Amino acid sequence: MALLPTPANAAASAWSCPVGDFCAYTGDNGAGSRCNWTGDDPDWTNGLIVCGWAAGTRVQSVFNNGTTGAPVSAYTATSYGGTKVFCLARGSQLNLSGVGTYLRSHTWDC
């Protein structure tokens, strides 16, 4: 049986995130819709992997399920611009306080 790629807007059960990926969720505690990436993405809404809900929905939680040990930084603007919101260590999960934030890019580096 062939495995099909996971769509960028997959519905997630709590903290569901493929091994090796950075995942962003529309709900607290890794719930809601999920977008995930294995590498850097300078534009979540128009990059190689498009996160369909990112333009109009705030990120509520994130998970660095990477395998290389690299941390992940996320930014409020494309091309790693705007405000750096966090530097998330490998294996870490984070709920963004309050109403979440709009994120537009990330890199596997702090």
CATH number of the domain where residue 72 is located: 2.60.20.10
- Please tell me the total count of domains within the chain: 1
For 1-27, what is the mean pLDDT? Answer: 71
**Predicted confidence (pLDDT) at residue 5 exceeds the cutoff of 70:** no
pLDDT tens digits, 49-106:
999 999 999 999 999 999 998 999 999 999 999 999 999 999 999 999 777 899 999 9
Which of left, alpha, beta for 15 (phi over 0: left; psi -120 to 50: alpha)? left
The distance of Cα 79 from the centroid of its chain, to the nearest Å, equals 15
Domain membership of residue 78 (yes or no) is yes
Domain membership of residue 101 (yes or no) is yes
Domain hosting 101: range is: 19-107
